[in-house]
Amino acid sequence: MNNLVIGQFVPGSGILYRMDPRTKILMTIVYVFLLVFANSWVTYLWSAIFLVAALLLTKQGLGLYWRGIKPILWLILFTVVLQLLFSGGTPVLFQWGAIKVTEPGLINAIYVIVRFVLIVLMSTILTITTPPTAIASAIESLLKPLKAIKVPVAELALMLSIALRFVPLLMGETDKIMKAQKSRGMSLSTGSLMKRAKAVIPLLVPLFVGALQRALDLANAMEVRGFESAEGRTRYRELSYGRDDTLAFVAIAVFAIGFLALSFIK
């Protein structure tokens, strides 16, 4: 449960760590958005080059990224199989009964793998170089325009950062309750589906009761420290747009222009 790399910050240094989290989020969005329209191997190659450059800038070991991809390997494989079997078209490369693999199918399958991996790696780079609190305050800042239509942006951002703060705690608690229930003979891995589903209840009830108690305690602790409203507070970690961010925007602009040019060449 703890080897999930997506959403996990790894301390480090370099331009990607110094950049404003808002810039990083916008860059990731632009990158993923463009990638959806990639239609030829040159556009994929161009995207991969950009990604590798970003990857190297994080100065983190590649093993970290492999751990980021591992959890979704099955999802990738599943999509690939679907692409291979149901793409249709000609020429047919391989046929066995009703199953046939066509050339467009094979190409599409490869594209799907590349697209998946690139998207996951790009978002992993974002979360590895950006602490959850910075992501929360960046989202708050980016959503600020929504305040005009009375969306409580500051409250939502605070909720998000508190939720992130309690993830490891609740995971630890789940683990503890699971061990406690197992030691009393509960089994989540045997029996019929119905039986297994029922076994989850004695796990969820204490978890929820515990979480509610925590929420009450936390509310008291926050109030005592002078919390009244998420609005009108100052910030310890101020977001600041700097030279690194301008550089990053130039980079993503170059990438986007190159990408569009290459997709027309085809």
Partner 1 sequence: MTNAITIKNLNYSYPEQGELFKNFDFSVQEGEWLAIVGHNGSGKSTLAKLILGLLDFDQGEIQVFDEKLSEETLASIRAQVGMVFQNPDNQFVGATVADDVAFGLENRQVPSKEMPAKIEAALKQVGMEDYAEREPHTLSGGQKQRVALASILALHPRVIILDEATAMLDPEGKQAVMETLKELKARYQDQLTLIMITHDMEEAALADRVAVVSDGQLVFDEKPETLFLKGKQLAELGLAQPFSMELQSALGISQTTYRTKQELATWLSTLKA
Dist. CA 263–CA 164, nearest whole Å: 39
Binding site for partner 1 (CB under 8 A): 11, 131-133, 161-162, 164-165, 168-169, 172, 213-214, 217-218, 220-228, 232-238
In the numeric block, the tokens 């406690």 are attached to 180
The CA distance from 236 to 114, in Å, is 40
CB 232, min distance to partner 1, A: 7
132 in Cβ contact with 7 (< 8 Å): yes
The identity of residue 191, as a single letter, is G
Q: What are the b/e assignments for 12-34, b being 16+ CB within 10 Å?
A: eeebbbebbbbbbbbbbebbeeb
For residues 167 and 205, which CB has a smaller minimum distance to partner 1 in the complex?
167
Asked whether the bond before 202 is cis by omega within 30 degrees of 0, the reply is no
In Å, how far are 16, 25, 27, 55, 125 from 129, measured between CA atoms? Answer: 6, 11, 13, 11, 6
SS3 96: strand
φ/ψ bin of 11: left (φ > 0), alpha (ψ from -120 to 50), beta (otherwise): beta
| Nearest to partner 1 of 180, 221 (CB atom) | 221
Report the C-alpha gap between 31 and 51 in whole angstroms.
Answer: 9
Question: 99-102 and 92-96: which strand pairing?
Answer: antiparallel
Q: Between 92 and 215, whose beta carbon lies closer to partner 1? A: 215
- Report the residue number, 119 or 158, with the smaller CB distance to partner 1: 158
Cβ 189 to partner 1 shortest distance, Å: 27
Q: Which is nearer to partner 1, 95 or 220 (CB)?
A: 220
Minimum CB distance to partner 1, residue 176 (Å)? 12
User: Phi/psi at 230 (nearest 5 deg)?
Assistant: -70, -20
**Is the CB of 91 or the CB of 238 nearer to partner 1?**
238
Q: Least Å distance between CB 233 and partner 1?
A: 4
Cβ proximity to partner 1, 103 vs 155, nearer residue:
155
